[in-house]
Chain A
Amino acid sequence: MSGSNYTLKCPKCQAVNTVRGKAMTLAMTCSSCSVYFRVGNWDKTITPFHSAYEPALPLGTKGKIDGVVYEVMGFTVKKEQKYKYQWREYLLFNPFQGYAFLSEYDGHWNIIWPIENEPTKGTTKSDFYEGGVSYQLFQKYEAKVVYARGEFFFDVVDLTNSTLNREYIAPPFMYAVEESDDSVLWCKGEHITKQEVASAFNVQAKSLPTQKGIGYTQPVMGSIQSSTLINFTIFVFVALLISQFYFSSNAEETIVYQGTFYQSALGDQKFFVTPSFVLEGSSKSLTIDIEAPLQNDWFFGEFSLINEDNGTELIFTKDIEYYEGYDDEGRWTEGSSHGEAFLSKIPAGKYHINVYPEFSTSSHQFSLLVKRDVATMSNFFLAFVVLALFPAGYFIRKNLMERKRWSESDYSPYDSYE
């Protein structure tokens, strides 16, 4: 709308001001003396705005938001009357879409549009549902304009001074309602990042106010929806469970060797050799169950699984201890006479096992049970934990951020828990 020769004369200094909003502009500030006046009605009690507030988005700047090109028409700084904090609002205009607001507080931005229909009433005064989403009352306040510059399509000073404002949030969305004795204006807003504002209006992001804390509509982590994350996590866990069920139910657990060894059979030998056995198919697990009849005793063995096809030797040890006795509290036991060695990814081939045992004074025998393709549950539990890390981190972060967000509100749902 710039470039028009529509003008208004300042009622105070008589300077001629070009009006970009033409007949839609109902109030403005004089570019010469900064006095604020309604068109055809100058309230002389309103002192000129000489404060040194500089808009981060200069008046007349154009920017594209959600595909709509807006022009910055007016800039106001408002002050909340109870807690005295200030925020900034930019009045945006598009000749086809009408006007919108871009508000900024502590470097956090919201794009806000007036809406015609009032949202559905909620079950209480502090909330309502819209589109299946619960909006919670975040703040209720009265404000004053401490600075204005540019053009406005309403008397922003009088309107701000005479209305009670309520804001409801469901980050990244919000609803705001301005109520006066004779009017109600509902607006819907959405969080917009500093980078998006900078990109839309083609300004440097570093020239925009620095972000502090968490914005009251700032989403927790990008565009992640909690319900979507929960549903997807359930899907992932079900997939994991089905996979584990498949592996457990299809594990063959084929016994490829079973035998008992006696110390007396060692003779001059220092080790036992099992007969050869053949492992078929692709790489699978192999377990070696060792059983020794121990009574307050131990058994130790070094084992070599030898691939007779290529000479590769897989060496491992197993220590078994079992003790029992009685004390003041009754019978006690410690350890087990059974041990298991688990070998991962054993390829097909012809194998045997060499066992180098160490017997104690009373332990003289042990048994081996070698099984092919044995399922393990530990991977399932580890995968469960690994997959739960992200959603757990998300909800911990969300809880912390929500508490921090609501600490700025008089209507925090967390207060009742503390």
Chain B
Amino acid sequence: MNWDDFKGLKYYIAYAAVVIGFFVYSGATGWKWFNPTHTETEHNSGTGHHVGRSYIYHK
């Protein structure tokens, strides 16, 4: 095996680098790719305990 052998693998090497890079980024940021916990995000102008959807639900 020599370096020329890797020329035929250049697309797989690039593909593997992207996957490993994405895996490392996800591990570092705590990103689970397929997460069974489905979430919704809401942005509210206020702060405190009674904001956004929680506030609407509560009142």
* Distance, CA A318 to CA B37, complexed state (A): 8
* Distance, CA A270 to CA B53, complexed state (A): 13
| A128 interface residue per 8 A CB criterion | no
* Distance, CA A222 to CA B26, complexed state (A): 33
* Distance, CA A229 to CA B12, complexed state (A): 9
- A-B pairs with beta carbons under 8 A, tally: 148
Question: Which of A195-221 touch B at CB < 8 Å?
Answer: 221
Q: Contact at A223–B7, with CB atoms within 8 Å?
A: yes
Interface size of B by Cβ–Cβ distance < 8 Å? 45
B residues less than 8 Å from A375 (CB atoms):
27
* Distance to closest chain A CB from B2 (angstroms): 9
Interface string of A331-359 (1 = CB under 8 A from B): 00000000001111110000010101000
Interface residue SS majority, chain A:
mixed
Identity of the chain B residue whose Cβ is nearest the Cβ of A274 in the assembled complex? B49
Q: Contact at A378–B51, with CB atoms within 8 Å?
A: no
| A117 interface residue per 8 A CB criterion | no
Interface string of B27-44 (1 = CB under 8 A from A): 111111111111111111
* Distance, CA A380 to CA B29, complexed state (A): 14
| A313 interface residue per 8 A CB criterion | yes
* Distance, CA A379 to CA B39, complexed state (A): 19
| A244 interface residue per 8 A CB criterion | yes
* Distance, CA A221 to CA B43, complexed state (A): 51
* Distance, CA A231 to CA B45, complexed state (A): 55
Contact for B24 among A221, A222, A243, A342, CB less than 8 A? A243
A residues less than 8 Å from B35 (CB atoms):
342, 344
Known: A244-B27, A383-B19. A271 touches B38 (CB 8 A): no
Q: Contact at B47–A343, with CB atoms within 8 Å?
A: no
A residues less than 8 Å from B48 (CB atoms):
308
B residues less than 8 Å from A285 (CB atoms):
30-32
B residues less than 8 Å from A223 (CB atoms):
5, 7-8
Known: A223-B7, A354-B54. A313 touches B16 (CB 8 A): no
Q: Contact at B57–A270, with CB atoms within 8 Å?
A: yes
Contact for B52 among A236, A313, A346, CB less than 8 A? A313
* Distance to closest chain A CB from B13 (angstroms): 7
Q: Contact at B8–A387, with CB atoms within 8 Å?
A: no
Q: Contact at A283–B19, with CB atoms within 8 Å?
A: no
Q: Contact at B29–A225, with CB atoms within 8 Å?
A: no
Contact for A374 among B19, B30, B46, B58, CB less than 8 A? B30
| A284 interface residue per 8 A CB criterion | yes
Q: Contact at A354–B30, with CB atoms within 8 Å?
A: no
Q: Contact at B47–A232, with CB atoms within 8 Å?
A: no
* Distance to closest chain B CB from A315 (angstroms): 5
Question: Which of A298-316 touch B at CB < 8 Å?
Answer: 304, 306, 308-316
Q: Contact at A341–B37, with CB atoms within 8 Å?
A: yes
* Distance, CA A232 to CA B37, complexed state (A): 35
A residues less than 8 Å from B39 (CB atoms):
314-316, 343
Q: 18 more A-B contacts (CB under 8 A) besides A286-B30, A315-B53, A344-B31?
A: A227-B1, A232-B9, A270-B58, A271-B57, A308-B47, A308-B48, A310-B43, A311-B51, A312-B42, A314-B40, A315-B42, A344-B30, A345-B31, A374-B30, A379-B27, A383-B20, A387-B16, A390-B12
Instruction: Name the 5 nearest CB pairs between A and B, nearest first.
Output: A285-B30, A223-B8, A311-B44, A247-B27, A224-B8
